[in-house]
Amino acid sequence: MSRKLLNEELGRVSAEEFKQQVKRPVALVLDNVRSQHNIGAAFRTADAFAIREVILCGICATPPNAEIHKSALGAENTVAWRYFETTLQAAQQLKNEGYELVAVEQAENSVMLNKFTPTEKPCALIFGNEVRGVAQEVVNECSRCVEIPQYGTKHSLNVSVSIGVALWEVCR
């Protein structure tokens, strides 16, 4: 039988230590994600995997925000983030900074996530709106699309779930 660990046994770093530690060379880009709970979950997941930053675009709400905080649990205060008016602007800026742009989207010629191998470049994973997905103009800027294998009838995951699945695979 296993005993659950207490919070003080988890070896968590402080907020200041987290800000100073080396981050994985991954940016999480949210393309017009409307749910503030999904945005908060993205921050919390970004914290869990110690990724470089979250990029919020378009209609995405930004911190400080009580609804984001409900699911981020403070990660919005420790994970670096930037805001761009459009995801296309963000994509172009990230390209200029040397990132490989990868849309997490069901698309022609997409690579299944379990077959995806990141390059040596920092990776910007782009996740789309809850209804429309990643905008086509943004997909056009990406060097690759990755798709999460799915076997049910919906072929759709909540964006926050997709973020967790994709970051796990890319960071492992």
Domain boundaries, the chain: 22-148+157-171
- 22-148+157-171 is classed in which CATH architecture? 3-Layer(aba) Sandwich (3.40)
- Give the pLDDT of residue 62: 98
Strand order in the sheet with 24-31: 81-84, 51-57, 24-31, 123-127, 100-104, 144-147, 111-112
| DSSP structure class, residue 4 | P
With a pLDDT cut of 90, the percent of the chain lying above it is 96
Average pLDDT on 79-98 reads 98
Mean pLDDT of 50-63: 98
96: tokens are 């200029």
Q: What pTM was computed for the model? A: 0.95
Q: Give, in degrees to the nearest 5, the angle at Cα 136 between 146 and 172.
A: 20
Q: At 109, give phi and psi (nearest 5°).
A: 65, 20
The token duo for 52 is 């470089």
Q: How confident is the model at residue 131 (pLDDT cuts 50, 70, 90)?
A: very high
Please state the rounded mean pLDDT for residues 57-81: 97
CB 53 within 8 A of CB 82: yes
Q: Return all residues near 140 (Cβ < 8 A) that are at least 6 apart.
A: none
